[in-house]
């Protein structure tokens, strides 16, 4: 009998709530089986952005009361963040894609080690806890497959606001002996997490705070919009200079806010359409979030059309090689690097893909090479020489985005591909298999021990 993991929340597959206990297996045992498909064609509604919703949930700590967040994706990271908030004393109720978070009774400012190690994004509660309590005790987040994932810039920014830190047996202990006061923060690198944590704390720091060299990702703007709806005074979010006028904590209040569409999920399906031919339309996304990815799809020989909330891609001729440099937004998103590497593996010519954001984000290359791709890694460059066909093979998801790209690879590969360790995919893609099937993909999910599909 497969080992069972206690999981309070049901993970929803294909819109039918299924608790793991009912399935008798765990996410770690499941695999995704993909077979060569004729095409991907049709429309798919993208879910709310994982990398916004997690922070919106954390921000609800600052407004004492019941905050409602809409368009929340049904993914396992959301379940973990719900657990983190409940451990702090909040109640989290879900109704479909809507979360009602009541933080009235939040009376703890410590996050447990076992939850922070499960999900790095738990560090996003650091800023809100300091804003609410003037102190926090958060387990130091570990690294992960794609890099060390340090938080030094989070700390530097918060120290400008008067926060003092010490490390106590793997926990980061924050205090504000002289209260919170605004200041001028210069980030060495436009870190998304550091921008978010300092912005959330600065909401209630006395006086003005300026965050220079701030991250410009759309999710930052989404968070600022929610904080302003809670009573904050933030300007410039989405640009590299964010200015916050502090307000009293007591004036911050709950709100209702809808999460923006997930640009990385949208980009992943657009890559599927580019790979297979399409046309594939992704709905519920602001095309301006994907300018660089759209430009690269066109450079590779695709046709792209946009409306105010959708993007459609199709391809008639062969894919052309392209060079890509991942950079902070509005540069090419590192979270689409593996997906575009997949396109490059079957493009005409050689592509050079340079990963500038994370120090170890080429694990996808080793797995796609098992499927016949020709990829050479040289430091933070990947040289990809296009091949005519990929071959199905057993492969392993090493991280969320590489896993999603491997499933797409199986659609174009000759024969059958079995993707293992798909719990990585469940972290950030709601009903990934169901959405690909709705587009005509020959994809199924099953427990690892189940037999293969009849030949």
Q: Which residues bind ligand EPZ (CB under 6 A)?
A: 50-51, 54, 121, 147-154, 189, 191-194, 215, 217, 334-335, 357-358, 400-401, 428
Burial of 26 (0-12, 13-18, 19+ CB in 10 A): middle
For residue 307, give every residue at least 6 positions away whose Cβ sits within 8 Å of its Cβ, in sequence order, or none: 287
Q: Which is nearer to ligand EPZ, 108 or 150 (CB)?
A: 150
Q: How many CB atoms lie within 10 A of CB 69?
A: 25
Residue 398 makes CB contacts below 8 A (sequence gap 6+) with: 145, 363, 364, 366, 367, 421, 424
CB of 440 to ligand EPZ, least distance (A): 26
Kindly report the backbone phi and psi dihedral angles of residue 83, in degrees, each rounded to the nearest multiple of 5, phi listed first: -60, -45
User: Residue 32 pairs with which residues in a beta bridge?
Assistant: 419, 445
Nearest distance from C-beta of residue 91 to ligand EPZ, angstroms: 23
Shortest gap between Cβ of 57 and ligand EPZ (angstroms)?
Answer: 11
For ligand EPZ, which is the closer residue by CB, 267 or 386? Answer: 267
Smallest distance, ligand EPZ to C-beta of residue 381, A: 16
- We find the least distance from the C-beta atom of residue 121 to ligand EPZ, in angstroms, to be 4
286 or 374, CB closer to ligand EPZ?
286
In the complex, the smallest distance separating the C-beta of residue 445 from ligand EPZ, rounded to whole angstroms, is 20
What is the closest distance, in whole angstroms, from the C-beta atom of residue 260 to ligand EPZ in the complex? Answer: 13
Give the nearer residue to ligand EPZ in terms of CB position, either 315 or 424: 424
In this complex, which beta carbon is closest to ligand EPZ, that of residue 53 or of residue 321? 53
Q: Who contacts 202 (Cβ-Cβ below 8 Å, separation ≥6)? A: 161, 180, 182, 209, 211, 244, 246
**CB 300 within 8 Å of CB 324:** no
- Please answer whether residues 189 and 153 qualify as being in contact, where contact means their C-beta atoms are separated by less than 8 angstroms: yes
How many whole angstroms separate alpha carbon 293 and alpha carbon 225?
Answer: 25
Q: Is 10 helix (H, G, I), strand (E, B) or coil?
A: coil
Q: Are 73 and 435 in contact (CB under 8 A)?
A: no
User: What element of type H or E holds 220?
Assistant: helix 218-229
User: If you compute the radius of gyration of the chain from its CA atoms, what whole number of angstroms results?
Assistant: 22
CB of 45 to ligand EPZ, least distance (A): 19
Q: How many CB atoms lie within 10 A of CB 309?
A: 13
Nearest to 2 by CA among 401, 375, 423, 433: 423
Q: Where are the alpha helices (DSSP H) in 179-217?
A: 192-202
Question: Which residues, 6+ apart, have CB-to-CB distance to 42 below 8 Å?
Answer: 280, 281, 438, 439, 440
Residue 73 or 278: the one with the smaller Cβ distance to ligand EPZ is 73
Of 148 and 299, nearer to ligand EPZ (C-beta) is 148
Q: For residue 148, with 0-12 CB atoms within 10 Å meaning exposed, 13-18 middle and 19 or more buried, which class applies?
A: exposed
Q: Which residues are catalytic?
A: 144
Nearer to ligand EPZ, 147 or 394 (CB): 147
């Amino acid at each position: 009998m497969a080992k069972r993991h206690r999981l309070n929340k049901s993970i929803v597959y294909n819109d039918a709530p299924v608790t793991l206990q009912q399935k008798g297996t765990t996410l770690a045992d499941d695999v995704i089986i993909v077979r060569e498909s004729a095409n991907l064609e049709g429309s798919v509604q993208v879910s709310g952005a994982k990398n916004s919703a997690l922070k919106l949930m954390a921000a609800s700590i600052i407004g004492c009361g019941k905050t409602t967040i809409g368009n929340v994706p049904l993914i396992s990271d959301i379940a973990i963040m719900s657990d983190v908030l409940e451990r702090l004393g909040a109640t989290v109720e879900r109704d479909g894609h809507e979360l009602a978070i009541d933080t009235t009774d939040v009376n703890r400012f410590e996050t447990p080690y076992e939850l922070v190690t499960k999900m790095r994004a738990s560090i996003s509660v650091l800023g809100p806890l300091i804003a609410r309590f003037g102190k926090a005790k958060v387990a130091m987040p570990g690294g992960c497959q794609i890099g060390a994932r340090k938080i030094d810039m989070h700390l530097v920014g918060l120290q400008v606001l008067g926060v003092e830190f010490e490390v106590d047996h793997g926990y980061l202990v924050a205090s504000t002996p002289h209260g919170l006061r605004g200041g001028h923060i210069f980030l060495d690198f436009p870190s998304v997490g550091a921008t978010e944590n300092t912005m959330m704390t600065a909401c209630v720091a006395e006086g003005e705070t300026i965050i220079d060299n701030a991250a410009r990702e759309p999710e930052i703007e989404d968070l600022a919009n929610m904080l302003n709806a809670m009573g904050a005074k933030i300007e410039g979010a989405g640009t590299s200079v964010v200015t916050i006028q502090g307000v009293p904590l007591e004036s911050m209040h709950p709100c209702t806010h809808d999460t923006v569409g997930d640009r990385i999920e949208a980009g992943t399906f657009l890559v599927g359409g580019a790979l297979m031919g399409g046309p594939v339309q992704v709905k519920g996304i602001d095309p301006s979030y994907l300018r660089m990815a759209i430009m690269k799809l066109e450079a590779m020989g695709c046709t792209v059309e946009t409306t105010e909330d959708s993007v459609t891609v199709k391809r008639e001729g062969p894919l052309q090689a392209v060079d890509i440099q991942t950079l902070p937004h509005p540069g090419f998103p590192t979270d689409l690097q593996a997906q575009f590497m997949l396109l490059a593996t079957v493009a005409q010519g050689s592509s050079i893909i340079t990963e500038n954001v994370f120090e170890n984000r080429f694990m996808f290359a080793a797995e796609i090479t098992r499927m016949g791709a020709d990829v050479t890694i040289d430091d933070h460059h990947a040289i990809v020489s296009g091949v005519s066909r990929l071959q199905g093979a057993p492969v392993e998801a090493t991280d969320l985005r590489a896993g999603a790209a491997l499933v797409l690879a199986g659609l174009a590969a000759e024969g059958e591909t079995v993707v293992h360790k798909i719990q990585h995919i469940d972290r950030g893609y709601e009903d990934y298999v169901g959405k690909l099937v709705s587009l005509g993909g020959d994809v199924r999910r099953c427990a690892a021990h189940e037999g293969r599909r009849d030949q």
